[in-house]
Amino acid sequence: MFSLKDKSTVSERTVPPHTFIALELKQDEFDNLKSALINVLPDYYVDPQSIAGTLARLGKPAVAQKLLTKIPEVKNIRSGDIGEVLASDYIEESLGYNVPIRKLRWRDHRNMAMRGDDVIGIVVDQQQQTIKFLKAEAKANKILGRGILEDARKELDLDDGFPAPHALGFVAERLRETGNQALSDLIEKVQLVDGIRTNQVEHLLFTFTASNPARLQRETFDAYDGNIKQTSVGFKVTEHQELIAGVYQGVIDGLND
């Protein structure tokens, strides 16, 4: 876990049931966050069990090549991927949801953005066999503009604010393929038979930027007039571009050792 709140100065505004949180990375935590991202990023691109199998059969050079073919070369794709990784970690650490599928492992091409909901978090009440979903949009840009936030709001509001059917189907199929049949079945049941209700869904709008999110992102937060619980998190890193470049260089250097 990255412990973003511990690594940042925190400003929080609550308008029940909604919450807006502005985080700014402390200068002395930059290297710690970079190191943590370097360590975890390969797992988002390739399943560790797959890496272990390749290592056992073919050795470390083959593992390095395997990972290098998954790492994007395009700057904006790299930025978006880091945003999704940070959002996924925040979801699991601070919002109590699990992100069971690291969807970047199934990307068609390393230099292409994936379609559909950025991140879907899930929490299951095992006794009641009920399920809740967190639909998240992660936006990563050096400069946070109103258009970026409007696009995120539109994405969150698609499909009546619920996770997109094809996104849930993707998660269910990947869970089945990776051996989590029970959760796959539960997702299919609520999607195809029971139906999803508003009280089973929450939203997260997560931004990773060098801009101060306190004004524009808070405006978007305050303007929401729907009935789905909202969490809006703006994570400011002054050295935004340096962090992204340093993380990917660190991963590549580790593979070349």
Calculate the CA 138 to chain-centre distance.
6
Please give, one letter per residue, the 3-state secondary structure of the chain. CCCCCCCEEEEEEEECCEEEEEEEECHHHHHHHHHHHHHHHHHHHCCHHHHHHHHHHHCHHHHHHHHHCCCCCCHHHHHHHHHHHHHHHHHHHHCCCECCCCHHHHCCCCCCCCCCCCEEEEEEECCCCEEEEEEEEEEEECCCCHHHHHHHHHHHHHHHHCCCHHHHHHHHHHHHHCCCHHHHHHHHHHHHHHCCCHHHEEEEEEEEECCCCCCHHHHHHHHCCCCCEEEEEEEECCCHHHHHHHHHHHHHHHHHC
pLDDT of residue 257 exceeding 90, the answer is: no
Letter string b/e over residues 164-182, b meaning 16 or more CB atoms within 10 A of that residue's CB = beebbbbbbebbeeeebee
Closest C-alpha to 190, from 143, 130, 239, 135:
130
pLDDT in tens, 100-131: 999 999 998 998 888 778 999 999 987 777 89
Residue 147 CB-density burial (10 A; 0-12 exposed, 13-18 middle, 19+ buried): exposed
Instruction: State pLDDT tens for residues 58-94.
Output: 999 999 999 999 999 999 999 999 999 999 999 999 9
Report domain extents, the chain. Answer: 8-256
CA-closest candidate to residue 237, choices 151, 168, 140, 172: 140
**Do residues 167 and 159 make contact, with C-beta atoms less than 8 angstroms apart?**
no
pLDDT at 129: 76
pLDDT of residue 231: 98
- For the purposes of burial, counting CB atoms within 10 Å of the CB of 187, is it exposed (0-12), middle (13-18) or buried (19 or more)? buried
Q: What percent of the chain has pLDDT over 70?
A: 100
Model's pTM, two decimal places?
A: 0.95
CB of 205 closer than 8 Å to CB of 156: yes
What is the tens place of the pLDDT at every residue in 143-197?
A: 999 999 999 999 999 999 999 999 999 999 999 999 999 999 999 999 999 999 9
The whole-number pLDDT of residue 115 equals 77
The arithmetic mean of pLDDT across residues 206-212, rounded, is 96
